[in-house]
Amino acid sequence: MSRLRRPVKPLFALLALVGLVVALSGCVYLKPNSLTLTQPGGIGSVRVHFALCTVGSNIACEPNTAEGTAQYLLGIAVPPGSTPPQTVTATPTNGGAPIVFSLNEEVAKEIAASSSGVARELEKTGGTPEEEEDREEVKRFYGGAWPPSGLQGVGYLSAPVQEVKGSSLEWSVDADFGLPVAAGSPFPGPFATGIALGLRTVNPESPANRPVHCVRIEEVEAPLKDPALCAGSSQQAQLGTSDLSVAGPAKAIEVFVGGSAPVKFKLNYAATGTTIPSFALKGKSSLKGSKTSVASGASFVPGAVNPTSHRAPTATSEAKVKVPKNAKPGTYEVTLTATAPQGGTATGVAKVKVVKPKLKLAGVKLNKANGTATLTVKVPGAGTLTVTGKGIVKAKKKAKKAKKLKITVKAKGSTKAQLEATGKAKVKAKLSFKPKSGISAKKSTSITLKQS
């Protein structure tokens, strides 16, 4: 610090807190203007990038002024519901060792609690010009409250790091966060973030696995045990993003063995970015030997994005699944994948239930007046029901969906002559149902026709 001029509280406490950080330094500092956001895949995860460097007494990237062992606390604020990586690695760019951070809920809670108190004091105005200057100096180091309003704090704690006095090092950090996911709804953006840092010493009396506690402003003058010094949101950034959700039907689509079925997927696109990509579409099924093709071409271009909701109109794409004739009945997955030009993907999954078509004879009614029989047959779907057999007139009935069909069995030839002569004749009716798509289902039944 350049000064600790007057014992005026709470401003003195603010200055003293920064002074403690400098006293512990050898710490890692967030390199000025290094925070950037990108969406490498065009859709999907956002990459939070920033640089770290050794810090000296001027709270800037300078040679290390201390030595010993330290642990660093890292806070990354993201939109609620974002998926954080389990570890974040700071990769050295000019020598030194990497710094590995692991996800730690305590860190997020402690940085938030510590920075909020400092932020409240920094929001105050008034005082002498010197006091205002002091407040600005504290602001330069601490930034604002973390996490920034509307964002969720994610905390990380580093493995112990050996500080080397006089070293001047930098690290590059890339952390990929999955976009927030709402049921069937894409994230409209933008994606915002804020970075906070802290540090604590490690020694035999203060091991690396001890609980995390960031010093509050009211604790500065009290005796401190195992403290962590934590700054607020010193750099913030925001990025317009693109996101696509692909959703299949909630219920399984039934398809007959040897048949084919259209599976419709809904595509919802949202963006606060400026470029609307064209997505390549590809279908795939977990059913061995099946073929899955995408109707209406193999690409999808979202419609115009509404400037208020940041969403494009819902679109539909159809994947047609062709089931082999030797397929085993069961439930299988059908996947539709949309790929952006940059390589990011969005995937939707549906289910198809493969079944063998079956016929069920629901009743036989004899008509003795004309010597016929009416069969009631339950068919499994759209298709054609046919009845044939020796001494029977061939008959057909069509169905547009699964239902009960009535079909007439009528004698012909010598069977008809026998029926007219004796008043009865036994026939074997062969029922065959040809689905609109799939293998045929067959069933036979013996009927004694009667005529009086």
- Taking CA atoms, 281 is separated from 99, 194, 318, 400, 449, in Å, by 40, 35, 10, 31, 58
Mean pLDDT of 202-214: 92
Structure tokens at 290: 């099946």
In this prediction, residue 3 has a pLDDT band, given cuts at 50, 70 and 90, of very low
pLDDT attached to residue 47: 98
Nearest to 19 by CA among 30, 7, 31: 7
Name the pTM for this structure: 0.83
Asked if residues 449 and 366 have their Cβ atoms less than 8 Å apart, the reply is yes
Higher pLDDT, 59 or 266: 266
Asked if residues 395 and 387 have their Cβ atoms less than 8 Å apart, the reply is yes
pLDDT attached to residue 135: 67
pLDDT attached to residue 4: 33
pLDDT attached to residue 63: 83
Task: Give the total residue count for the chain.
Answer: 452
Mean pLDDT of 164-172: 88
- Number of helical H runs and strand E runs in the chain: 4, 28
Q: In sequence order, which residues have a C-beta less than 8 Å from that of residue 98 and are 6 or more positions away?
A: 89, 90, 91, 92, 171
In the chain, how long is the greatest CA-to-CA distance?
Answer: 128
* Residue owning tokens 């169905």: 399
In this prediction, residue 8 has a pLDDT band, given cuts at 50, 70 and 90, of very low
pLDDT above 80 for 25: no
pLDDT attached to residue 144: 78
Full set of structural domains in the chain with CATH: 11-239 (no CATH), 242-355 (2.60.40.10), 360-450 (2.60.40)
Q: What is the pLDDT of residues 288-311, one digit of tens each?
A: 999 998 876 688 999 999 999 999
Backbone angles phi, psi at 414, to 5 degrees: -65, -30
In this prediction, residue 225 has a pLDDT band, given cuts at 50, 70 and 90, of low
pLDDT attached to residue 164: 81
3-state helix, strand, coil in the chain (%, to 5): 15, 45, 40
Q: What is the pLDDT of residues 403-417, one digit of tens each?
A: 999 999 999 999 999
